[in-house]
């Protein structure tokens, strides 16, 4: 988990770097979720990366001011009869300046992590747990695009 937090912090830093400080900022952000996935029935009880992504969207709604973001994509999973191993939120953030933009990115990053945490908690798994040898939790990462 520590490594993930450092990674996210680094990404947020990179996202903010190279943007003019006082100009209005409007940029895209990808929020990726990764979980173990599996058979919808045989592996029932595993976390879903798509469920986590949806949970994160609702947290983004709560955390970001109206008009500061627009979700342009929500996708994940590979078939109706599988637990989704991947989830993706794409959104466009709009802020008055680089500092405000950085705050939005931080809020999205927090919401993504909390969405993943909520899914992990609902299914009773924690970092370090394995399912059939694979990481049992859903993890999030935020990337600018």
Beta carbon nearer to other proteins, 21 or 29 = 29
Beta carbon nearer to other proteins, 45 or 99 = 45
112 SS3 class = helix
Residues that bind other proteins (CB under 8 A): 34, 36-44, 48, 50-51, 53-55, 57-58, 61, 66-67, 70-86, 89, 92, 119, 122, 130, 132-135
We find the least distance from the C-beta atom of residue 22 to other proteins, in angstroms, to be 24
Partners of residue 141 on adjacent β-strands: 32
We find the least distance from the C-beta atom of residue 83 to other proteins, in angstroms, to be 5
Cα 1 to Cα 13: distance, rounded to the nearest angstrom: 18
Beta carbon nearer to other proteins, 21 or 71 = 71
The answer to whether the CB of 92 falls within 8 A of the CB of 70 is: yes
Beta carbon nearer to other proteins, 1 or 71 = 71
We find the least distance from the C-beta atom of residue 13 to other proteins, in angstroms, to be 22
């Amino acid at each position: 988990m520590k490594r993930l937090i450092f990674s996210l912090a680094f990404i947020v830093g990179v996202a903010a770097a190279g943007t003019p400080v006082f100009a209005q900022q409007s940029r895209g952000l990808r929020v990726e979720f990764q979980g173990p996935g599996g058979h919808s029935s045989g592996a029932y009880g595993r976390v879903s990366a798509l469920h986590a992504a949806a949970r994160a969207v609702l947290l983004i709604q709560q955390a970001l001011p109206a008009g500061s973001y627009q979700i342009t994509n929500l996708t994940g999973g590979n078939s109706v009869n599988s637990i989704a191993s991947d989830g993706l939120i794409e959104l466009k953030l709009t802020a008055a300046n680089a500092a405000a933009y950085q705050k939005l990115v931080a809020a999205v990053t927090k919401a993504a992590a909390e969405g993943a945490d909520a899914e992990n908690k609902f299914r009773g798994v924690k970092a370090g747990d394995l399912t059939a040898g694979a990481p049992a939790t859903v993890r999030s990462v935020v990337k600018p695009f």
